[in-house]
Amino acid sequence: MQVNPSNSGWLADYLEYRKAIYQSFLEDTAKDSHPEHSMYRILQPSGIMYGHPLHKTNVPDTTPLNKLKLLMAESLISGSLIYHHQEINSEDDFSDVIMRTVTKIGEFYNKIYPELSVSNRTFLGKRKSPLEIAEKILEKRVRKSGSEKQNYWIQFFDNIILFLDIYFFGQWMHTSSETMIAEFFKQEKEELRFSIIKVMSAAAHANKTIEEEEQALFDFFLKSSHLSARQKEEAKRDFANGVGLTDIYLPNQNSWLLKKFFLELAILTVWVDRKLEESEMVFLKAFTKKLGFFEDDLENSLLAVEGFILENWEQLNHLRKGHDLHDIGEEYLKRVKTTTDKNAFRINDELQKNSALKKLLLKSKTEKLSKAEEQELHEGLLQVLKAVPTFVIIGLPVSYLTLPMLLKLLPTNERNG
């Protein structure tokens, strides 16, 4: 994909790329049980839910701001495609949805984020195209996020608001852009920003001790969150004294995606001190219940967060300094093993369907495989695990999971033949 976000016209180049892959994209996301599951599958591995965007694509200019610009465009447009899935039966339908989406990006930011507004005319009075407006707005938005800071956790809290942009834009695509609707979204945006502070405060107090690093993170986020003076004072009191779960505002629309965001925000906050204590797990279970989730949902989110960290270990310098890869990996593998054992029948059924893979698996128990055979078995087992519903939604840290690890993760009766 040859798209350079430094160049004028990069958004048009990106849309041409999307046009070439639209059919496979639609087929892939059509398998999900809900559009928000599709959105989560796209957003979670990218790191944009965690404030650490890691766009993995062939972009000539690899500066953080340009990566983020491309990732924001991809996230906003992918969300629109997912929610308008039923309307797209041809490339012309696809192009129509894309152009409506690009126009809506301009409307959304001009009305919900007036500080980022872009005029629809040039200095000489020439009307700008929706593509030009959207391109300029995305440029202004990512620059506002200050994404070129190097500290992982500062990036996490400084950029995490971008996820709310994507979430609200998905909602915006379903509504009229009347003034009353715009005012509602602006108010809801501010409430949810404040909720992020509340979740952080509650999670930081879970072990009854405010770590030095947690305090520094809170101070930084408070400074960059654009809260009102009243909200900032309330947030400071909450962080100093603790906040109860009943005091955390959550939206009434009961969005699965938004609830997953808040749950994984809480998980990442308690991870700041690099260890998950029993009191913090108690808090996470209580928060999970408040969100209307079950303990399996908490386990899946723990898997998602740990898997993200393991998959991107080399890029997360801050975590590497204070934590041992082996320790995180051991905890993660225990969680995965619990999940595979629960899905033993499904996994064994998938293996039975693939005679070549089954043959390789049996051979691996008695003979040393060639490099080509090891690679084939490795890729095949990853595909088998992806048949488990949990791993369809949250994905797996493919670069981390070696073949010996995968063999240990198979259900016990299958490993023993």
Does 129 share its domain with 239?
no
> Residue 82: which of 4, 1, 160, 18 has the closest Cα?
18
Same domain assignment for residues 8 and 147: yes
Final residue of a structural domain among 169, 196, 225 = 169
Residue 217, C-beta contacts closer than 8 angstroms, at least 6 positions apart = 153, 154, 156, 157, 200, 272
Domain presence at residue 328: no
Q: Are residues 186 and 135 in the same domain?
A: no
127: which strand partners? Answer: 121
Q: Assess if residue 314 is contained within a domain.
A: no
Do residues 352 and 224 both lie within one domain?
A: no
Is-contact 19 138, C-beta < 8 A?
no
Q: Is the residue at 303 inside a domain?
A: no
Question: Which of 141, 169, 197 is the last residue in one of the domains?
Answer: 169
- pTM for the whole structure: 0.86
Structural domain that includes position 397: 333-415
Residues 157 and 184 in one domain: no
Q: Which residue, 271, 267, 260, is CA-closest to 294? A: 260
Same domain, residue pair 139 and 189: no
Any domain includes 149: yes
Q: Count of alpha carbons within 13 Å of 199, Cβ hemisphere only?
A: 29
Q: What is the pLDDT of residue 221?
A: 63
DSSP string, 80-130: HHHHTGGG-SSHHHHHHHHHHHHHHHHHHHHHH-GGG---SB-TTSPBPPH
**Residue 10 maps to a domain:** yes
Instruction: Tell me if 70 sits within 8 A of 55, measured CB to CB.
Output: yes
Residues 75 and 200 in one domain: no
Considering the domain architecture, whether residues 22 and 140 belong to the same structural domain is answered as yes
Residues 21 and 107 reside in one and the same domain: yes
DSSP label of 400: T
DSSP conformation letters of 126-186? PBPPHHHHHHHHHHHHHHHHTTT---HHHHHHHHTHHHHHHHHHHHHTTS---HHHHHHHH
CA angle 281-282-283, nearest 5°? 90
User: Could you tell me which of 286, 288, 289, 197 has the C-alpha nearest to residue 248?
Assistant: 197
Cα separation, 43 vs 261, whole angstroms = 10
Question: Does 244 lie in the same domain as 215?
Answer: yes
313 lies in some domain? no
Q: Is 29 part of any domain?
A: yes
- Which of residues 267, 292, 317 is at a domain's end? 292
Please report, in tens digits, the pLDDT of each residue of the chain (417 residues total). Answer: 567 788 888 998 888 887 777 777 777 777 777 889 989 998 998 888 887 777 665 555 567 788 888 889 989 998 888 888 878 888 888 888 889 999 999 989 988 888 888 888 877 778 889 999 999 999 988 887 654 554 555 556 667 788 888 988 988 887 765 666 777 777 787 778 778 878 877 887 787 776 666 676 667 666 656 667 777 787 777 777 777 787 787 766 678 999 999 999 899 888 766 677 888 999 999 999 999 999 999 999 999 999 998 888 887 765 555 567 778 889 899 999 999 999 999 999 999 999 999 999 999 988 999 999 999 999 999 999 988 989 988 989 999 999 999 999 998 765 555
Please indicate, yes or no, whether residues 165 and 74 belong to a single structural domain of this protein: yes
In-domain check, residue 239:
yes
Q: How many domains does the chain have?
A: 3
Asked whether residue 274 falls in the same domain as residue 368, the answer is no
* CA neighbours closer than 13 Å in the CB half-sphere of residue 370: 2
Residues 6+ apart with CB under 8 A from 312: 47, 52, 54
